[in-house]
Structure 1
Amino acid sequence: MGERYLRWRTVSRANRTRAERKSPEERSAEIQDAARSIALSGGLTAITLRSVAAQAGVTPALVAHYQPSMESLVASTFTAVVRTELADVASLLGPFPTATERLAHLIDTLQDGSRDDLTLVWVDAWSLGRRSDLLASAVRTQMDAWEALITDVLVEGCDAGEFSTGDPDTVAWQLLGMIDGLNAQSLVHYRDAPSRGRLIARAIEHELGLSPGALTAAAAAPRR
């Protein structure tokens, strides 16, 4: 029994020594990656000291050492997840040659039902942000970034004569609000994804002076 205990102590000490060899930067990145994984699988509300520690394979005390504020970790996790989403969508839109096609595929991509994990992150952020100024500020910053992406597409369409609106900023805000609202509804399976996409497309077609069905047709057309 004594020999077995000594062997266990030796292995345990060796494991701790190996863990301690990670640099502070590596350990911090490991914890942040764990938080992002948790957010995408269970939302921001699932990020706790214990859940992050378990995901990263470290102790809660070590998480607290590198992330003394869970409020800060939640806010930075939200920002990291949403920045990645925005970059992915911007990259997806890049190859389309016209603003109409880019706008159509933007709506289709954000309403096709494949991003429920990201929608949950957003919904949790709006809810938790009521009691966290840090998170609320992060949410507003990322909403501004999304609105800027949409506005750029609308301005390009106006400059090319594809769209007709004197206020692309307001139309972008309207579109963002519709996308956010209908995506939130999708979490409880209210209506189906194609219906939600068509509802948004019809409203925005009207705002931009497009013929009915123009955005739906553009989304369905093969990429050139």
Structure 2
Amino acid sequence: MNTTSRARRLSPAERERTILTGARKLVYESGLEAMTVRAIAAEVGVTPALIAHYRPVMDDFVAEVFRDVVSAERVEVLGTVDVSLGLRPTLQGIIETLLDPARDDVAMVWVQSWALGARNPVLAERVRIEMDLWQSGLEDVIRRAGAGIDDPRGAAWMLLAMVDGMSAHALVKWAPHDRAEIARRTLAAVLA
């Protein structure tokens, strides 16, 4: 009597989802640099050849996974904004959310995307698109929440630069212990 059973073969759509889910998990745990055919195959439990069959151009796949990770964060953070709280509390909430150490996995993805994008033009283009979407999204929040802000575009860029810089510093454990306090002071200066 044969006691082994054959695993059900996944459809191409199911396999595609499995590969994408596995790649995202790998990126959240280890960053974009960990995205290799072998690492994804090990994560998903298939051969590297199967990954290469479904994703023949790794640069394109890296850009796709980057987009998925950072756009999910943007939708989550900006999608829950309540501008009726007023400009300062609204922006403070966004900044504190983004600087939360629990989001260091996404900060790592951003930092690596800037470095890897120097040699991966597809990723570089996606990074520029996602940065523009963050900037325009934050600018929109500032416009909706803030009466009297002369330069919402400039304010959005300055706040994102602060978040990016502080997040990058935190990744190498070179950051103030109270990032939120520095963020509050910076926000006050930007809005002054």
2:170 is equivalent to residue 186 of structure 1: yes
2:178 is equivalent to residue 205 of structure 1: no
Aligned to 1:150: 138
2:157 is equivalent to residue 173 of structure 1: yes
Aligned to 2:33: 45
* Distance change >3 Å, CA 86–CA 182, structure 1 → 2: same
Which amino acid in 1 is paired with 2:175? R
Q: Deviations over 1:102-161 (max 9, x none)?
A: 111011111122211111111110110000110001111111111112101211233xx3
Which amino acid in 2 is paired with 1:108? E
Aligned residues: 192
In the superposition, the TM-score normalised over structure 2's length comes to: 0.91
Between 1:135-144 and 1:86-95, the stretch displaced more is: 86-95
In 2, the alpha carbon distance for the partners of 1:30 and 1:191 equals: 37
Which amino acid in 2 is paired with 1:139? V
Which amino acid in 2 is paired with 1:145? L
- Residue segments in structure 2 that go unaligned for 5+ positions in a row: none
Q: In the alignment, is the contact (CA less than 8 A) between 1:49 and 1:64 conserved in 2?
A: yes
Equivalent of residue 111 in structure 1, options 78, 99, 102: 99
In 2, the alpha carbon distance for the partners of 1:117 and 1:57 equals: 23
- Residue segments in structure 1 that go unaligned for 5+ positions in a row: 1-6, 210-224
Aligned to 1:79: 67
Q: In the alignment, is the contact (CA less than 8 A) between 2:32 and 2:113 conserved in 1?
A: yes
Q: Which has the greater radius of gyration?
A: 1
In the superposition, the TM-score normalised over structure 1's length comes to: 0.79
Q: In the alignment, is the contact (CA less than 8 A) between 1:112 and 1:193 conserved in 2?
A: no
Q: Deviations over 1:9-39 (max 9, x none)?
A: x958x34xx22xx211111111011110000
Q: Deviations over 1:76-117 (max 9, x none)?
A: 000000111111112332386323221110111111222111
Q: CA RMSD in A?
A: 2.0
In 2, the alpha carbon distance for the partners of 1:200 and 1:83 equals: 23
Q: In the alignment, is the contact (CA less than 8 A) between 2:166 and 2:175 conserved in 1?
A: no
Identity across matched positions, percent: 39
Residue 102 of structure 1: SS of its match in structure 2?
helix
Aligned to 1:101: 89
Equivalent of residue 51 in structure 2, options 34, 40, 63: 63
